[in-house]
Amino acid sequence: MPSHNSSGATTMNTRKFIGKHGGNYVSQKKRGGMGFRDLHSFNIAMLAKQVWRLLSDPDSLCARVMRARYYPDGKLLNAKLKSGSSYTWQSVLAGLECFKRGCIWRVGDGSQINIWEDNWIPSSHNLKIQTPRGTNIVRTVNELINPVDGSWDEDLINSLFWPTDVHCILQIPISPGREDVVAWHHNRNGLFTVRSAYHSQWEYKFERGRTGEASGVGDNPVWDKLWKLDLPGKIKIFGWRVLHGMIPCKGVLANKHIGNQGSCPLCPSGCEDIKHMLFTCDRAREVWRCLGVWDRIEEVLNIDRSGSILMEEIIRIGGKIPALNNVGLVELVLTAGWYIWWERRKFVHGESTNPFHISNVDCSVDYQLHDVLEKNI
Ligand SMILES: [Zn+2]
């Protein structure tokens, strides 16, 4: 066990993460990284976070793009997969089921909440009404509220629901003048956290003894490989976002008619999408050439696909670079890719950077990647 643990409790927690993946998680925890033992559940929790972001910041560009294309009625929780859905949207939907199991409506005027299908009963085991709908015609929660005094219509509620539901409903506070809002049930303050979503997903997956869900978009072996890399968490999360097309790029928005020209701020060519930013932009090429891996990148670019697919391919291929102290290609591409992205954001926001001074980047990568980068850029 790591000797620097200061308390027995920490040691116990650390021990829990030593499983089939051996010491890997211990070292991640030591570095303040992610102490999660089931990568699939973690991926799903991260995707559920995207759902939370879309809900809690509906005016963000990303939310506007997604809403315009996939849920124009604004009802994200009811959204479905459509043919031709982007990989990003498929990813959001992969997190949606996890999100829907853990979210709960806080009753405002009740108009958005479906009595029979939505989660809105905090003291119910599945957060839903237990009474079967039968032939009831009432549909939304506002129909249960007395319009005159804004309190629960007790007579109506008693006539519709089983006593256990009646009891639960009458305990719920209502704010008739406000909109209904979605909160996260697993956190007392109602705010989403990846950690609680992870635990909820983990319980759902293992306590129900199911593996059926681990298919399709939620079960990509490349994710597994990514999370196991010995890189700082922020660089892995960057890689994960690239794989899911979740790096905001002007070009992506321009394609969706969000009103911008989609040109690159750093070079005269092309539309600024992930592929351009990381691989084909003049600036990116320069970095890859400096690192001596442009040939390797060019090989991958022969596959005429999106930046996400190219990154996936690089992670799949892997391998070492003998000319650079046998540093891993994946580690190098992700770290330098993160740097390109970071530098670019600084540039776009008008912050000065020292171009190509990678020592600014806190990349405590093994294999002396830091040194390698510093020497070569
Ligand atoms: Zn460019």
Q: Specify the pLDDT at position 154.
A: 95
Do residues 349 and 213 both lie within one domain? no
Mean pLDDT of 126-134: 90
Same-domain status, 286 and 299: yes
Distance 327 CA to ligand 1 centre (A): 27
H or E, element range at 196: helix 194-207
Residues surrounding ion ligand 1 at CB below 5 Å: 264, 266-267, 281
Q: Are residues 281 and 334 in the same domain?
A: yes
Could you tell me the distance, in angstroms and rounded to a whole number, from the CA of residue 21 to the centre of ligand 1? Answer: 40
Is 338 inside any structural domain?
Answer: yes
Cα 186 to middle of ligand 1, angstroms: 43
Nearest to 356 by CA among 347, 364, 348, 365: 347
Give DSSP secondary structure letters for 214-272: S-GGG--HHHHHHHHSSS-HHHHHHHHHHHTT-S--HHHHHHTT-S---B-SSSSSSB-
> Are both 79 and 13 inside the same structural domain?
yes
Residues 130, 200, single domain; the answer is no
Residues 370 and 235 in one domain: yes
39 CA → ligand 1 middle, Å: 34
Same domain membership, residue 197 and residue 62: yes
Give the strand pairing for 103-106 and 320-321. Answer: unpaired
Q: What share of the chain is helix, strand, coil (3-state, %, to 5)?
A: 50, 5, 45
Query: Does residue 95 share a domain with residue 202?
Result: yes
Q: Is 73 part of a structural domain of the chain?
A: yes
**Closest of 283, 361, 284, 374 to residue 327, by C-alpha:** 374
Asked if residue 227 and residue 206 are part of one domain, the reply reads no
pLDDT for residue 255: 47
Distance between CA atoms of residues 344 and 287, nearest Å:
12
Q: Across residues 291-298, what is the average pLDDT?
A: 89
**Which residues touch 20 (CB under 8 Å, ≥6 apart)?**
none
Alpha carbon of 51 to ligand 1 centroid (Å): 30
Q: pLDDT per residue over 10-24, tens digit each?
A: 333 333 333 333 333
Weakest mean pLDDT among 140-144, 257-261, 325-329, 357-361: 357-361
User: Is residue 185, in this structure, part of any structural domain at all?
Assistant: no
Asked if 56 and 147 sit in the same domain, the reply is no
Q: How many domains does the chain have?
A: 3
Task: Check whether residue 94 and residue 200 sit in a common domain.
Answer: yes
Assigned domain for 1 exists: no
Q: By residue range, what is the domain housing residue 232?
A: 221-376
- Predicted confidence band at 52 (pLDDT cuts at 50, 70, 90)? very high
Give the predicted TM-score (pTM) of the model: 0.56
What six digits make up the tokens of 281?
């932009």
Output the CA 68–ligand 1 centroid distance in Å: 27
Domain assignment present for residue 2? The answer is: no
Residue 60: pLDDT over 60: yes
When pLDDT is cut at 50, 70 and 90, the band that residue 350 belongs to is low
Compute, in angstroms, the gap from residue 349 CA to the centroid of ligand 1: 16
- State the distance from the centre of ligand 1 to the C-alpha of 267, rounded, in angstroms: 4
Q: How much is the pLDDT for 17? A: 33
Q: Are residues 210 and 140 in the same domain?
A: no
Distance (angstroms) between ligand 1 centre and the Cα of 362 equals 24
Whether 202 maps to a domain, the answer reads yes
